[in-house]
Amino acid sequence: MTTANSPVADGRILVPGGYGAVGTAVAAILGQWFPGRVVPGGRSADRARQHGGVRVDVNDPQDFRTVLDRLGDVGAVVLCVEPPDESVARACLERGVHLVDIGADERLLGAVAALHDTALDSGASAVLSVGVAPGLSNLLARRAHEEVGGAQRIDLTVLLGSGERHGADAVRWTVAGLAAPTTARPLRVELPGHGLRTAHPFPFSDQHTLTGTLGVPRVTTRLCLDSRAATALLFGLRRTGLLRAADRPLPRRLLTDALGRVHLGGDAFVVRADAYRDGLHVARVARGLRQSRFTALVAAHVARHLLTGGPAPGVRHVEEVPALADLPERLAGDGLTVLRLTDGPR
Ligand SMILES: NC(=O)c1ccc[n+]([C@@H]2O[C@H](COP(=O)([O-])OP(=O)(O)OC[C@H]3O[C@@H](n4cnc5c(N)ncnc54)[C@H](OP(=O)(O)O)[C@@H]3O)[C@@H](O)[C@H]2O)c1
More confident call, 165 vs 278: 278
User: Are residues 270 and 286 both part of a single domain?
Assistant: yes
Average confidence (pLDDT) over 219-247: 82
DSSP, collapsed to helix, strand or coil, labels residue 337 as strand
In a domain, 336, yes or no: yes
**Domain end call among 97, 128, 159:** 128
pLDDT for the residue numbered 248: 65
In a domain, 311, yes or no: no
Give yes or no for residue 15 having a pLDDT over 80: yes
Whether ligand 1 lies within 6 angstroms of the CB of 25 is answered as no
Whether ligand 1 lies within 6 angstroms of the CB of 34 is answered as no
pLDDT for the residue numbered 303: 98
User: Are residues 123 and 256 both part of a single domain?
Assistant: no
Ligand 1 mean position to 333 CA, how many Å?
Answer: 26
In a domain, 309, yes or no: no
Give yes or no for residue 77 having a pLDDT over 80: yes
Whether ligand 1 lies within 6 angstroms of the CB of 131 is answered as yes
Whether ligand 1 lies within 6 angstroms of the CB of 132 is answered as yes
In a domain, 7, yes or no: no
**Residues 280-299: pLDDT tens digits?**
999 999 999 999 999 999 99
More confident call, 184 vs 269: 269
Cα dihedral across residues 286, 290, 296, 301: positive or negative: negative
- The total of structural domains in the chain comes to 2
pLDDT category of residue 4 using cuts at 50, 70 and 90: very low
Residues 270, 161: Cα–Cα separation, whole Å:
9
Contact of 25 with 78, CB cutoff 8 Å? no
In a domain, 308, yes or no: no
Which residues, including other chains, have CB under 8 Å from residue 303's CB and lie 6 or more apart? 13, 26, 30, 76, 78, 98, 100
**Domain end call among 94, 128, 162:** 128
In a domain, 1, yes or no: no
User: Are residues 92 and 146 both part of a single domain?
Assistant: no
Counting from 1 in the atom list of ligand 1, the atom nearest the Cα of 172 is: 47
pLDDT for the residue numbered 164: 76
More confident call, 282 vs 241: 282
Which of 77, 79, 80 maximizes ligand 1 atoms within 8 Å of its Cβ, making it the mutation to test the pocket?
80
User: Are residues 52 and 90 both part of a single domain?
Assistant: yes
In a domain, 296, yes or no: no
Counting from 1 in the atom list of ligand 1, the atom nearest the Cα of 137 is: 3
Counting from 1 in the atom list of ligand 1, the atom nearest the Cα of 23 is: 16
User: Are residues 30 and 141 both part of a single domain?
Assistant: no
User: Are residues 166 and 285 both part of a single domain?
Assistant: yes
What is the side-by-side order of every strand in the sheet holding 38-42?
54-55, 38-42, 12-16, 74-79, 98-101, 125-128, 314-317
In a domain, 200, yes or no: yes
Segments forming the whole domain that contains residue 24: 12-128
Which among 184, 219, 226, 188 has a CA at the least distance from the CA of 205? 219
Task: Indicate which residue's Cα is closest to atom 47 of ligand 1.
Answer: 170
User: Are residues 120 and 180 both part of a single domain?
Assistant: no
CATH code for the domain of 173: 3.30.360.10
**Domain end call among 86, 111, 128:** 128
Whether ligand 1 lies within 6 angstroms of the CB of 211 is answered as no
Give yes or no for residue 36 having a pLDDT over 80: yes
Whether ligand 1 lies within 6 angstroms of the CB of 165 is answered as no
Ligand 1 mean position to 236 CA, how many Å?
Answer: 27
Residues 306, 324: Cα–Cα separation, whole Å:
11
CATH code for the domain of 123: 3.40.50.720
b/e map of 280-302 (b: 16 or more CB within 10 Å)? bbbbbbbbbebbbbbbbbbbbbb
pLDDT category of residue 243 using cuts at 50, 70 and 90: low
Which of 14, 15, 19, 22 maximizes ligand 1 atoms within 8 Å of its Cβ, making it the mutation to test the pocket?
22
pLDDT for the residue numbered 144: 98
User: Are residues 198 and 336 both part of a single domain?
Assistant: yes
CB atoms within 10 A of CB 176: 14
Go through the chain and tell me how many residues it has.
346
User: Are residues 98 and 177 both part of a single domain?
Assistant: no
Which residues, including other chains, have CB under 8 Å from residue 65's CB and lie 6 or more apart? 91
User: Are residues 43 and 172 both part of a single domain?
Assistant: no
The rounded mean pLDDT for the chain is: 91
pLDDT for the residue numbered 276: 97
Which residues, including other chains, have CB under 8 Å from residue 346's CB and lie 6 or more apart? 279, 281
Ligand 1 mean position to 151 CA, how many Å?
Answer: 34
User: Are residues 143 and 279 both part of a single domain?
Assistant: yes
**Residues 148-183: pLDDT tens digits?**
999 999 999 999 998 777 777 777 788 788 878 788
User: Are residues 157 and 91 both part of a single domain?
Assistant: no
Whether ligand 1 lies within 6 angstroms of the CB of 104 is answered as yes
